[in-house]
Amino acid sequence: MELILALGIGVLVGSGVWLIARPRTYQVVIGLALLSYAVNLFIFSMGRLSNKSAPVVEPGITPDPALFVDPIPQALVLTAIVIGFATTALFLVVLLVSRGMTGTDHVDGREPER
């Protein structure tokens, strides 16, 4: 599981960074989205990977910390997803405004001279 998660994060980060370095705004937005997925997965992994365990303590049983997952990273990811969505949506709006004003989707607002 560790390998799959690490590869997944790695592929997402690689694609995200490559897309952010592109000159078209839409690619930058998609790159940011991929990067934020990678970061969310990374936050999950920081709570230690475990399988089939509950994040809460069952009533009546003396809790053994080895048996349940850390709930804090899940709370963090939830917040990060909400904030990430909001800011990405905002960026998308700015992209559209810029496209409307300058007539190009280049990040500098004008086409490079060829």
User: Interface with another protein by CB under 8 A: which residues?
Assistant: 20, 25, 28, 32, 35-36, 39, 42-43, 45-47, 72-73, 76, 79-80, 83, 86-88, 90-91, 94-95, 97-98, 101-102, 107-109
What does the radius of gyration of the chain's CA atoms come to, in whole angstroms? 20
Alpha carbon of 45 to those of 32, 89, 99: distances in Å? 20, 26, 38
How many Å apart are CA 31 and CA 53, to the nearest integer? 33
How many Å apart are CA 58 and CA 36, to the nearest integer? 33
For the CB of residue 111, give the shortest distance to another protein in the complex, in Å: 13
Please identify, using beta-carbon distances, which residue of 39 and 57 lies nearer to another protein.
39
For the CB of residue 41, give the shortest distance to another protein in the complex, in Å: 10
